[in-house]
Structure 1
Amino acid sequence: MTIGIVGSGRMGQDLFYSFMEYDCQVILVSRNPEQIEKITKKTRKILKRDPGLMGKETPIITDKLADLAGCDVIIETVIEDLAVKQDIFQSLEGIAKNTCIFATNSSSLDVTDVFYGVKEKERCLGLHYFYPLKLISTAEVNAGPDTSEDTVTEMVKFLLVTGRKPLVLRGENRLVLSKLLISLAAYAYKLSLDGELSLNELDQITKQVLLFGIFEMVDSTGFPVISQCLTNLPDKLHSTLYKPLLLEISDLMKQGKEGRRGEGLLSLEDSRKRDPAFTGSREECYEKYGIRFLAFLLNEIARYMEDPLLDNKQVQESVEEVLGLSASLKALYKELKEEKLLETLNAEYKKSLDPLFLPADLKVYGEH
């Protein structure tokens, strides 16, 4: 098998090095001469350090799309710019063999838009990997309306052969895990607007449920990508929720901030918070916000699992891995208890009249 990767950013490089571990030819295309030199040097070191890789096809690093002509799968990992992605795939259609599968690793753009100008849409789909690649084996297979079942089947096989767990997504609920992550960040930011807890304190609360702080995730991903997600992912139900965080990040980007490197939400947070409105103890405050965050999380996931096109078992396993949950979803549901969950959601709805907080069908957590 020959795998092509377009783009030499963090994900493109990580995929390139991970595919080197398997019995395949891997080709990386980059427009950046410095990146090509850097990756070439690192690849030589890896091959020298691990003689076991020498028997396989030598990896290729190039600046020419034409070198991908013999690929069986081509994965695009460039910036979240729709026009750039569309141009790449329209160029590839005149280069790649007609049996080659085209995949975009986009975290926020719909496959229908990315492959709009491609004639053979049946071979196109989304293939979304997650960081850190070495720890998270889940990859979303986002099938478009024209993606053939043969293409989906071949992509599932490809993922299994390269050590990944596929989550197949169809219809309206594509990019489910991206939507869930960005919704959790937007909701946690909404909680911060109550003025009772800082972003850093809320991060500590989210770490009681997730493997990471939710704002840690925002900062490490970087504002440009988060901004694209907040702009491209919201449906009618989530558009109001996303706006405050989008406005905050947009404002910081206008100031030249991009997240990471000490200029993220956590490091830039104003420590001079107003006096808290909560009259109970700090422990009670933390418990209150922790319950609200967990109730929102469980309700969001339950809403996705109502979709008959999705495999509930796959969704639950993927969510648990990508979020690094402290316990299984069913265990968290039992711990919180349905009565408390409904009470919390109904209180949120009564206060906001936002249908986002209307309880979903929570029976999904009691099945099997």
Structure 2
Amino acid sequence: MTIGIVGSGRMGQDLFYSLIGYECRVILVSKNPEQIDKITKRTQKILKRDPQLMGKETPVITDSLYDLADCDVVIETVIENLSVKQEMFQRLGEIVKNTCIFATNSSSLDVTGVFYYEKAKERCLGLHFFYPLKLISTAEVNAGPDTSEETVKEMVRFLSMTERKPLVLRGENRLVLSKLLISLAAYTYKLSLEGELTLKELDQITKQVLLFGIFEMVDSTGFPIISQCLANLPDKLHSVLYQPLLLKVTELMKQGKDGRRGEGLLSLEDIGKKDTAGIENREECYEVYGVRFLSFLLNEAARYMKDPLLDKKQFQESVQEVLGLSASLKFLYKELKEKMLLETLMAEYEKTLDPLLLPADFKVYRER
């Protein structure tokens, strides 16, 4: 199998290096001469360091899309811009063989838009990987309405061959893990606007459940990608929730800040904005916000699991890995207890009348 990767940004490079050594030929296309030189040198060091790789197919780093002509799969990892992606696949369509599968690693753009102009839509899908690639084996396989079952099976086979865990998503719940991540960030930012706790304090609270702080995730991902997710992912139910964080990130981007160079939400927070020293019973306050965060997470996940097309067991395992949960969703549900979960959600709903906070059906957590 020959795999082509278009784009030499962080994801393109990480994906390229991760595939070296498997039973496939890997070709990376970059338009940046400096990146080509850097990646070529690093690849040579990797090959020299591991003698077992010397007998494998030699990876190729090139600046020409025409070197992808014989690829079985081409994975696009260029910037999160719809027209750029559409144009890239139109160019690739004139180069590759007519059995080649096209995959976009987009974290926020739906496959129906990315492949709008493609004639062979049955061979197109989303293949979304997560950072850090070395630690997270889950990959979303986002099947479009025209994606053939054979194409989905081929992608599952490819991911399994490279020791990754495919989560196949169809219908309205494509990119569901991206939606869940960005919803958690937007909800926690909304909690910060209540004025009791700082972003840093809320970030620490989210670490009680997640492997990382939710705002650490926002900052390390970078504002450009986060803003695209906030703009592209929300449905009617989530659009109001996403607006405050989108406005904040957009404002910071206009100031030339991208979140990743020590200019993130956590480092730029106005320390004088909130005087938290006067809060009585701080431990109790932290516990309350922790319960609210966990309740929101469990409610969101339960809502997605209503989808009959979704493999519930696989989804829960993927959520646990991608979020770095301290325990499974079912365990967290049992620990919180359904009564507390319902009371927390209903209290917030009664204050806001936001239908997003109406309790979902939690029987998914009681099923064996």
Instruction: Return the TM-score normalized by structure 2.
Output: 0.99
Q: Is the 8 A contact 2:198 2:274 kept in 1?
A: no
Tell me the alpha carbon deviations over residues 38-75 of structure 1, each in whole angstroms, 9 at most, x when there is no partner. 00111111111111111011111001111000001110
| Residue aligning to 2:107 | 107
Ranges in structure 2 where 5+ consecutive residues have no aligned partner: none
What letter corresponds to residue 352 of structure 2 in structure 1?
Answer: S
| Residue aligning to 1:331 | 331
What is the CA–CA distance in structure 1 between the aligned matches of 2:9 and 2:341, rounded to whole Å? 41
What letter corresponds to residue 20 of structure 2 in structure 1?
Answer: M
| Residue aligning to 1:357 | 357
Residues 281-320 of structure 1: pairs in structure 2 closer than 5 A:
281-320=281-320
1:211 maps to 2:207:
no
- Report the Cα offset of residue 168 of structure 1: 0.3
What is the CA–CA distance in structure 1 between the aligned matches of 2:349 and 2:308, rounded to whole Å? 26
1:244 maps to 2:241:
no
What is the CA–CA distance in structure 1 between the aligned matches of 2:289 and 2:300, rounded to whole Å? 17
What letter corresponds to residue 327 of structure 2 in structure 1?
Answer: A
The structure 1 segments of at least 4 consecutive aligned residues displaced by more than 6 Å after TM superposition are none
Tell me the alpha carbon deviations over residues 308-367 of structure 1, each in whole angstroms, 9 at most, x when there is no partner. 110100110000000010011111000100000000000010000000000000010000
| Residue aligning to 1:128 | 128
What letter corresponds to residue 291 of structure 2 in structure 1?
Answer: I
- Report the Cα offset of residue 99 of structure 1: 1.1
Tell me the alpha carbon deviations over residues 129-152 of structure 1, each in whole angstroms, 9 at most, x when there is no partner. 001111100000000001001000
What is the CA–CA distance in structure 2 between the aligned matches of 1:252 and 1:211, rounded to whole Å? 26
| Residue aligning to 1:68 | 68
What is the CA–CA distance in structure 2 between the aligned matches of 1:150 and 1:352, rounded to whole Å? 46
Q: Is the 8 A contact 1:196 1:278 kept in 2?
A: no
What is the CA–CA distance in structure 1 between the aligned matches of 2:9 and 2:145, rounded to whole Å? 29
What letter corresponds to residue 33 of structure 2 in structure 1?
Answer: P
| Residue aligning to 2:348 | 348
What is the CA–CA distance in structure 2 between the aligned matches of 1:110 and 1:202, rounded to whole Å? 31
Residues 1-368 of structure 1: pairs in structure 2 closer than 5 A:
1-276=1-276, 280-368=280-368
What is the CA–CA distance in structure 2 between the aligned matches of 1:87 and 1:278, rounded to whole Å? 56
What is the CA–CA distance in structure 2 between the aligned matches of 1:365 and 1:256, rounded to whole Å? 44
Tell me the alpha carbon deviations over residues 67-110 of structure 1, each in whole angstroms, 9 at most, x when there is no partner. 00000111000110111100111111111111111000000000
Tell me the alpha carbon deviations over residues 111-161 of structure 1, each in whole angstroms, 9 at most, x when there is no partner. 000001111000000000001111100000000001001000111011000
Ranges in structure 1 where 5+ consecutive residues have no aligned partner: none
What is the CA–CA distance in structure 1 between the aligned matches of 2:268 and 2:33, rounded to whole Å? 34
What is the CA–CA distance in structure 2 between the aligned matches of 1:164 and 1:244, rounded to whole Å? 35
What is the CA–CA distance in structure 2 between the aligned matches of 1:297 and 1:270, rounded to whole Å? 27
- Report the Cα offset of residue 277 of structure 1: 11
- Report the Cα offset of residue 10 of structure 1: 0.6
- Report the Cα offset of residue 279 of structure 1: 5.4
What is the CA–CA distance in structure 2 between the aligned matches of 1:259 and 1:93, rounded to whole Å? 35
What is the CA–CA distance in structure 2 between the aligned matches of 1:89 and 1:355, rounded to whole Å? 39
Q: Secondary structure at the match of 2:187?
A: helix
Identity of aligned residues (%): 80
Q: Secondary structure at the match of 2:248?
A: helix
Tell me the alpha carbon deviations over residues 147-190 of structure 1, each in whole angstroms, 9 at most, x when there is no partner. 00100011101100011000000001000000000000000000
What is the CA–CA distance in structure 2 between the aligned matches of 1:184 and 1:77, rounded to whole Å? 25
What is the CA–CA distance in structure 2 between the aligned matches of 1:21 and 1:190, rounded to whole Å? 45
- Report the Cα offset of residue 275 of structure 1: 3.7
What letter corresponds to residue 157 of structure 2 in structure 1?
Answer: K
Q: What is the aligned residue count?
A: 368
What is the CA–CA distance in structure 2 between the aligned matches of 1:300 and 1:98, rounded to whole Å? 40
What is the CA–CA distance in structure 1 between the aligned matches of 2:74 and 2:54, rounded to whole Å? 23
Instruction: Return the TM-score normalized by structure 1.
Output: 0.99
What is the CA–CA distance in structure 2 between the aligned matches of 1:150 and 1:2, rounded to whole Å? 18
- Report the Cα offset of residue 274 of structure 1: 3.1
Q: Is the 8 A contact 1:101 1:151 kept in 2?
A: yes
User: RMSD value over aligned CA atoms?
Assistant: 1.0
